[in-house]
């Protein structure tokens, strides 16, 4: 899979750009991809329509938006662009506005960019790296910060992509789990986790968590990566699978999942699906996802 530095051309980086509103900010990010030959102009229009249809779910962490749409014939190769706005803009997100950084993702398929998004999540979650992006004076400085997030082969991010399997033991919904304040060490799932629950108010886990966005290729992968890091820390990665998907597919798959993790805007689109739908505000926050999953799995 492509690394973050492989997908971002120096010519697709624009610093301190003026924009009147979120539509113009997304258009700036798309124009950069057009200028480098990665996409045709229609893909930029599709990124804007996605927000118009699904709301500001692309604002996945404070001050940062990941613009994207479904792959189509206008996407010539998988690529990303980077725009730092001259002035912060409101995208309509209740907790992550205003936005100062906008990156656009054009994905030619569903897998080539997964490692890049994992690296990007790590950069945005690191306070020093995020500050460096806010103050970078050149495209090369931006690339240096983002390049630091590229994970080598065999890294935890690569391992996380394979978390969960068809042969994993089921985890009961009331299974014991990690300590109240995890320190980063693995916490093995107790042997009782593979047995039928003794509490009549609990049910066996279906071993599946869904992360959902409008297209299933961008922000849902971002959220999947962070959730996998939480399970890795618990030592639960072989017991639960996490699947990134789009809103339409999620409605059909919900019956097979324990919980759906998504944004507030996408939760409104999904409506009632028969399983808990948990809103995550900051897609890079392991602490927020940790808290939600502890509640869901009663640990």
- Answer yes or no: 113 catalytic: no
User: And the tokens for 257?
Assistant: 């999942």
Contact 99, 73 (CB under 8 A): no
- Structural domains of the chain, ranges and CATH numbers in brackets: 4-151 (3.40.930.10), 158-296 (3.40.50.2300)
Token digits of residue 138:
């050149």
pLDDT in the model for residue 148: 61
Q: Predicted confidence band at 261 (pLDDT cuts at 50, 70, 90)?
A: very high
What is the per-residue pLDDT for 117? 85
Give the pLDDT confidence score for residue 196 in this predicted structure. 47
Which residues lie below 8 Å from residue 283, measured CB to CB, with a gap of 6+?
Answer: 60, 61, 121, 219, 222, 223, 226, 263
68, 93, 113, 187: the active-site residue: 68
Rounded (10°) CA dihedral 199, 203, 208, 213 = -100
pLDDT of residue 178: 46
- pLDDT grade for 110, boundaries at 50, 70 and 90: low
Q: What is the pLDDT of residue 227?
A: 95
Kindly tell me if the per-residue pLDDT of 119 is higher than 50: yes
Reported as a single tens digit per residue, the pLDDT across 185-211 is: 334 443 334 444 445 556 789 999 999
d(CA 149, CA 219): 17
241-246 vs 79-89, strand pairing mode: unpaired
pLDDT tens column, 122-133: 899 899 999 999
């Amino acid at each position: 899979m492509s690394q973050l530095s492989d997908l971002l051309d120096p010519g697709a980086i624009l610093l301190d750009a003026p924009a009147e509103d979120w539509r113009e900010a997304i258009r700036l990010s798309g124009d950069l991809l057009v200028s480098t030959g990665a996409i045709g102009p229609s893909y930029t229009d599709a990124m804007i329509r996605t927000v118009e249809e699904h709301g500001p779910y692309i604002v996945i962490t404070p001050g940062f938006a990941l613009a994207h749409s479904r792959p189509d014939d206008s996407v010539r190769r998988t690529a990303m662009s980077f725009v730092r706005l001259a002035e912060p803009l409101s995208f309509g997100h209740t907790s992550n506005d205003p936005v100062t950084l906008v990156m656009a993702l054009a994905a030619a398929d569903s897998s080539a960019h997964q490692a890049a998004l994992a690296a990007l999540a790590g950069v945005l979650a690191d306070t020093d790296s995020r500050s460096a992006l806010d103050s970078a004076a050149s495209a090369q400085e931006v690339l240096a910060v983002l390049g630091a997030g590229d994970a080598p082969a065999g890294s935890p991010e690569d391992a996380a992509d394979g978390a969960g399997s068809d042969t994993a033991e089921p985890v009961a919904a009331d299974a014991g789990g990690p300590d109240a304040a995890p320190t980063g060490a693995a916490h093995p799932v107790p042997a009782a986790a593979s047995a039928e629950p003794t509490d009549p108010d609990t049910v066996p886990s279906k071993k599946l968590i869904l992360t959902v966005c409008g297209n299933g290729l961008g922000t849902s992968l971002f959220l999947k990566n962070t959730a996998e890091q939480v399970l890795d820390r618990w030592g639960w990665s072989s017991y639960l699978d996490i699947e990134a998907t789009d809103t339409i597919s999620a409605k059909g798959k919900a019956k097979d999942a324990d919980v759906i993790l998504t944004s507030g805007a996408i939760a409104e689109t999904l409506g009632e699906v028969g399983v808990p739908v948990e809103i995550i505000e900051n897609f890079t926050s392991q602490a927020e996802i940790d808290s939600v999953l502890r509640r869901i799995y009663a640990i």
